[in-house]
Structure 1
Amino acid sequence: MTTTLSDFDGLLHWDALQAWVAAQDLPGSGPVTGVERLTGGSQNSLFMLHRGDTRMVLRRPPKHLRANSNDTMLREARVLAALRGSAVPHPGFLAVCGDPAVTGAAFYLMEPLDGFTPMGALPAPYATDATFRRRMGAEFVHAAATLGAVDHVAAGLADFGKPEQWLERQVSRWRSQLEGYRDTPGYPGDALPHVDTVGDWLERHRPSTCRMGIIHGDFQFANVMFDRERPRLVGLVDWELSTLGDPLLDLGWLLTSWTEAGDPAVAGRGPAVTPWDGFMSRDELVRLYGDISGRDMSAMPWFFVLACFKLACLLEGSYARACAGKASVDMGNFLHNYALWLMAKARQLAE
Structure 2
Amino acid sequence: MTEATAKSELVPTDRLAPALVEATGDPGWSDVRAQLISGGKSNLTFLLTSTAGEMVLRRPPTGALLPSAHDMMREARIQSALAGTPVPTAPIVLADPGGLIGIQCYVMGRVHGHVIRDTMPDGYAVTQEERRALSFGFVDTLAALHQVDQDAVGLGDYGRPTGFMERQVRRWSGQWEKSRTRNVPEVEELGRRLAARIPVQQAATIVHGDYRIDNVVLDSVDPGRVKAVLDWELSTLGDPLADLGMLLLFWRHAGEPDVSSLTPGVTQLPGFPTRADVVERYAAATGTDLGELGFYTAFAHFKFAVIAQGVSVRASAGAMGGQSFGNLDREVQAVAAAGLDLL
Aligned twin of 2:138: 140
Aligned residues: 336
Distance in 2, matches of 1:7 and 1:269, equals 24
Q: Which consecutive unaligned segments of at least 5 residues does structure 1 have?
A: none
Aligned twin of 2:203: 211
Match of 1:318 among 280, 291, 311: 311
Q: Secondary structure at the residue paired with 2:297? A: helix
Q: What TM-score, normalized by structure 1, do the two folds share?
A: 0.81
Q: Secondary structure at the residue paired with 1:10? A: helix
Aligned twin of 1:220: 212
Contact residue 28 and residue 51 of structure 1 kept, 8 A:
no
Q: Secondary structure at the residue paired with 2:149? A: coil
Aligned twin of 1:10: 9
User: For residues 50 and 268 of structure 1, do their structure 2 counterparts lie closer, same or farther at Cα, with a shift above 3 Å needed?
Assistant: closer
- What are the superposed Cα offsets for residues 69-126 of structure 1, whole Å, 9 maximum, x if unpaired? 99611111111111111111221222222242x2232322212111122111211233
Segment of structure 1 superposing worse, 171-180 or 298-307: 171-180
Aligned twin of 1:289: 282
Distance in 1, matches of 2:323 and 2:49, equals 34
User: For residues 301 and 110 of structure 1, do their structure 2 counterparts lie closer, same or farther at Cα, with a shift above 3 Å needed?
Assistant: same
Contact residue 117 and residue 214 of structure 2 kept, 8 A:
yes
Distance in 1, matches of 2:273 and 2:28, equals 48
Contact residue 84 and residue 93 of structure 1 kept, 8 A:
no
Q: Secondary structure at the residue paired with 1:125? A: coil
User: For residues 193 and 65 of structure 1, do their structure 2 counterparts lie closer, same or farther at Cα, with a shift above 3 Å needed?
Assistant: closer
Aligned twin of 1:158: 156
Q: What TM-score, normalized by structure 2, do the two folds share?
A: 0.83
Q: What are the equivalent positions in structure 2 for 1:25-36 lying under 5 Å apart?
A: 26=24, 28=26, 31-36=29-34
Distance in 2, matches of 1:57 and 1:50, equals 12
Contact residue 117 and residue 263 of structure 2 kept, 8 A:
no
Q: Secondary structure at the residue paired with 1:235? A: strand
Distance in 2, matches of 1:34 and 1:289, equals 42
Distance in 2, matches of 1:205 and 1:332, equals 34
Distance in 2, matches of 1:12 and 1:175, equals 32
Q: Secondary structure at the residue paired with 2:95? A: strand
Segment of structure 1 superposing worse, 267-276 or 204-213: 267-276
Deviation at 1:263, TM superposition (A): 5.8
User: For residues 69 and 219 of structure 1, do their structure 2 counterparts lie closer, same or farther at Cα, with a shift above 3 Å needed?
Assistant: same
Match of 2:245 among 249, 252, 268: 252
User: For residues 273 and 209 of structure 1, do their structure 2 counterparts lie closer, same or farther at Cα, with a shift above 3 Å needed?
Assistant: closer
Divergent runs of 4+, >3 A: 5-8, 11-16, 27-36, 49-52, 61-71, 198-201, 261-271, 318-330, 335-338
Deviation at 1:7, TM superposition (A): 9.4
* Larger gyration radius, structure 1 or structure 2: 1
Q: Which consecutive unaligned segments of at least 5 residues does structure 2 have?
A: none
Q: What are the equivalent positions in structure 2 for 1:322-337 lying under 5 Å apart?
A: 331-333=325-327, 335-337=328-330
Name the amino acid aligned to 2:219.
Answer: D
Among the aligned pairs, what percent are the same residue? 33
Distance in 2, matches of 1:66 and 1:180, equals 10
User: For residues 141 and 168 of structure 1, do their structure 2 counterparts lie closer, same or farther at Cα, with a shift above 3 Å needed?
Assistant: same
Deviation at 1:8, TM superposition (A): 3.8
